[in-house]
Amino acid sequence: MTAAPQPLKDARRETRALTHSQGANFSVGFRFLPKDRRQAVYAAYSLCRMADDAVDEGDPETAPARLDVWARELEAIYAGRPETSTGVALAAALETFPIPKEAFAGLIQGCRQDLVKTRYETFQELLGYCDLVASTISTISLAIFGGLGNLEAERHGRYLATALQLTNIIRDVGDDLDRDRIYLPAEDLDQFGVTELDLLTRRPSAEFASLLRFEARRALTFFVKAEPIKFLVDPPCKFAVTMMGGIYAEVARRVEKDPLFSLFGRVSLSRSEKILEVGKRLLDRRFVRDRRLLSSIDSEKAGL
């Protein structure tokens, strides 16, 4: 930890730079927020990212200790004694946006789960993980965007957070295999005739393609169910939420279109493609715009 925390201006600059470099998909939407909310989101994202990187980056043997550092910093932030630039920026944001500490604590708990649990038997079990690492993000976001305490907003916020996390899972199949993690539920692998060995050996097959298309449509179903969230946040935040969901829904659509790519690479949008998505959402603000997908999404088959 830093002995002397940086001035607030420098801390905010650091969290902004980290968000734009590491959270490129999220940051498209963040740019449309009013300044005070944008600064708060950058700070919140930075803490979440640091906790996530503590688990995913570096020596796995020392990951628990690295995560403990951020758990202690969380306590220090809420006690008004931050020790890092991330903490300084977040402590300042909390003066305006009362984000529940329990939300960050839940996310850190989800990161700890990644250290000990690398397989999921059922989709319901995976949803429990999503509640830790994604629905906590919904709570953090609603505290900044408006809507926290509104049961309808919280319900649809969880749908969106789950959609984002499921998109991360289908996008990052190959990266997760490198860490010996398989988030695709075992019951789904069985349903489509895909074995764990098929995944670990990166064996492309029609069966894997069908499996990932199913998972992509499941994620897209959550985006569709989340649509009302745009109208349940404060008006200045509506388009930012539209773009956060819209960019990720486009990633899920591309995985559905070319599922084998996720075994070997990560689907991403170029800067020009993101700008194009902004233009599209100015005309049509739905998260999922593809009529073919909208007509094919089946909530019952998606396990909802």
Do 139 and 235 fall within a single domain?
yes
Do 103 and 127 fall within a single domain?
no
Out of 99, 115, 131, a domain closes at: 115
pLDDT, tens only, 185-208: 999 999 999 999 999 999 999 999
Which pTM value belongs to this model?
A: 0.92
- Pick the more confident residue, 107 or 293: 107
Do 14 and 85 fall within a single domain?
yes
Out of 59, 81, 115, a domain closes at: 115
**Domain CATH number, residue 23:** 1.10.600.10
Do 104 and 197 fall within a single domain?
no
pLDDT, tens only, 22-60: 877 878 889 999 999 999 999 999 999 999 999 988 888
Out of 115, 137, 165, a domain closes at: 115
Check residue 300 and give its pLDDT.
Answer: 44
Show Cβ contacts of residue 91 under 8 Å, excluding neighbours closer than 6 positions. Answer: 77, 80, 82
Do 93 and 176 fall within a single domain?
no
Q: What is the DSSP string of 147-214?
A: -TT-HHHHHHHHHHHHHHHHHHHHHTHHHHHHTT-B-S-HHHHHHHT--HHHHHTT---HHHHHHHHH
Check residue 2 and give its pLDDT.
Answer: 47
Do 265 and 239 fall within a single domain?
yes
pLDDT, tens only, 73-105: 999 999 999 999 999 999 999 999 999 999 999
Check residue 302 and give its pLDDT.
Answer: 46
Number of structural domains, the chain?
2
Domain of 13 in residue numbering reads as 1-115
